[in-house]
Amino acid sequence: MDFKRGVLMKRYELGKLLGQGNFAKVYHGKNIETGVNVAIKIIDKSKVMKVGMMNQIKREIAVMKLIKHPNVVRLYEVMASKTKIYFVLEYVKGGELFDKVAKGKLKEDAARKYFQQLISAISYCHNQGVYHQDLKLENLLLDDEGNLKVSDFGLSALIDTKRRDGLLHTSCGTPAYVVPEVIRHKGYDGAKADVWSCGVVLFVLLAGFLPFHDSNVMEMYRKIARSEFKYPNWFPSEARKLVPKMLDPNPKTRISVLKIMENSWFKKGLIFQPLKPEKMVQTGFDVEKAGYLNAFDIISLSPGLDLSALFKDNVEEKTEVRFISKHVGKDIVEKVEEIGRSLNLKVVKKGEMFLKLEGSKEGKNGILAVDLDVFQITHNGYLVEANQMGGDRVEFYEIMNKNIRPALTSEL
C-alpha cells in the first residue's frame, strides 16, 4: 500500500479530499516533522501511462519547478511509489475565486486587484517560456490573505510543443474560455491564448457571468469565434475599452500582456511587489541552500526515493542522467561532441539534437554506449537526457557527471 492509516511515505499525514479529476486526487496534508500544511496531488501512474500522458507529467514537474512567483502555487517536492506519483504543493486554503464570483459580481477595485495579480503571474510565466493554456476561475485560488494564486499547470505548454511554424497545436482549455483560433483548428500563440482567457476572467469578475455562454455548445463556439458578447449596464466604462482588446478574435491584433500592464485602468492602485528570492517551505529540503536545481534534481532530493523508474522503459537495462542547461541547443551538441572526442569516445550524430557515444575499450560489462538527447523546454532552457545503453555504470556516471554535466551547467 502507498499509505497506511492516513500517513504517506512516513512523512505526511493525509487529511480530507480537496478535489479530484480523471487522473488525480488532491488531499490536504501535513508534514509530520515540521507541521507545515500542504496539498498532495496523487496521480495514478497506470492511468497516465495507459493514455500516454507520462511526458505530460514530466512536463508538469519541469514547469512547476521553473515557476517561483507569489501569485503562483508552489511545488515543494515530488515523490513516488510503484503505482502512484505524488506532488507536494503549497496549500492555498482560501478556496477558488470562482466561489466568490458565484455569489455575484465583484466591486471594481477588488476585481482589478485580482486581475493585476493574475497578469503579474502570467507575465512572469511567459517570460519563463511557459503558457498556462487552461486559465479559468476554478484554477485561480485565494490564500488566507486574499491574494490570488494561479494553480494547475497540468495543461501548460512549453516551447518544445511548437511546430516549425512556431505555434502551439494542442486543443487544451475549457470551452467557455477557449480561444477562437483553437475552434478554427489553427495553431495558436500560447501567450495570446492566455491573454484571451484572462479577458474572459476579467469580464466575469466585473459582470458576474461569462461573456460567451449558450446551452448549445456549437452556438457558444460561434459566439466565441466572432467575439459576440454584451456588457451589463453596471460594467465599468474604462474596463469596456480594455476587454475587447483582450477578446479580439484575431490573435495578430490581440493586445499583449505588456500592453495590458501599460493600460491606465489596469495601473490604478497597482502595488508593485518586487520578486525576492524565496526560501522553500521546509518539507524535506531547502532550495536556496541546495543551489541551482533542475526539475529532476527535486526527485533525487526526495529522501529514500528514486523516481527514475517513472521515466524508463526497462529499469534493468537503462541508467539515466538528466539536467537542464541554459546553453543553446546547438552549442550543447557541439560541446558534447568536443568532450566525447577528447575522451576518446566515438561520437555519432543521429539527428539535430540526438547523439550516440561509444567507448573505445571493452570493459567488464562490454563497450560503453550512451544515447544523448537534447530537448528545448523553455525559451532559454534545454533538457539534456543521457541513457546508458551498454558498458559500465561507473564509467557512464563519471563521463556524465565529471565531464559533460559540469561543462553544460556552468554559467554563460
* pLDDT mean over 216-241: 91
pLDDT value at residue 262: 94
Query: Domain 319-409: which topology?
Result: TATA-Binding Protein (3.30.310)
Where does the pLDDT of residue 272 fall: very low under 50, low under 70, confident under 90, or very high at 90 and above? low
- E strands in 274-390: 319-325, 346-351, 354-363, 366-378, 381-390
Q: Which residues are catalytic?
A: 134
Which of the four pLDDT bands, split at 50, 70 and 90, describes residue 65?
Answer: low
Its pTM stands at 0.62
Q: Which residue has cell 565529471?
A: 402
Mean pLDDT computed over 63-67:
67
pLDDT above 50 (res 139): yes
Query: What pLDDT, on the 0 to 100 scale, is given for residue 354?
Result: 86
Selection from 255, 316, 324 nearest residue 294 by Cα: 324
Q: How much is the pLDDT for 106?
A: 94
- CATH number assigned to the domain with residue range 97-267, chosen from the 4 options 1.10.530.10, 3.40.640.10, 3.30.420.40, 1.10.510.10: 1.10.510.10
DSSP string, 189-238: -HHHHHHHHHHHHHHHHHHSS-SS--SSHHHHHHHHHHT-----TTS-HH
Q: Say if residue 309's pLDDT is above 90.
A: no
The pLDDT value recorded for residue 378 is: 56
Q: Decide yes or no: CATH 3.30.200.20 for domain 3-91+287-305.
A: yes
Residues 6+ apart with CB under 8 A from 318: 312, 387, 388, 389
Mean pLDDT of 75-100: 84
> In sequence order, what E strands does 283-365 have?
319-325, 346-351, 354-363
58: confidence class by pLDDT, cuts 50, 70, 90: low
Dihedrals phi, psi of 311, to nearest 5 degrees: -115, 20
Q: How confident is the model at residue 304 (pLDDT cuts 50, 70, 90)?
A: very low
Q: What average pLDDT does range 48-55 have in this prediction? A: 62
- What confidence category does residue 382 fall into, taking pLDDT thresholds of 50, 70 and 90? confident
CA neighbor of 400 nearest in space, from 389, 411, 384: 384
What cell was used for 100? 466568490
Overall average pLDDT of the 313-335 stretch: 74
Q: If we measure between CA atoms, which residue out of 8, 30, 50, 14 comes closest to residue 281?
A: 30
Where exactly are the structural domains of the chain?
3-91+287-305, 97-267, 319-409
* Cβ neighbours, 10 Å, residue 370: 26
Are residues 39 and 28 in contact, defined by beta-carbon separation less than 8 angstroms?
A: yes
Average pLDDT over residues 139-150: 91
Amino acid symbol at 313:
D
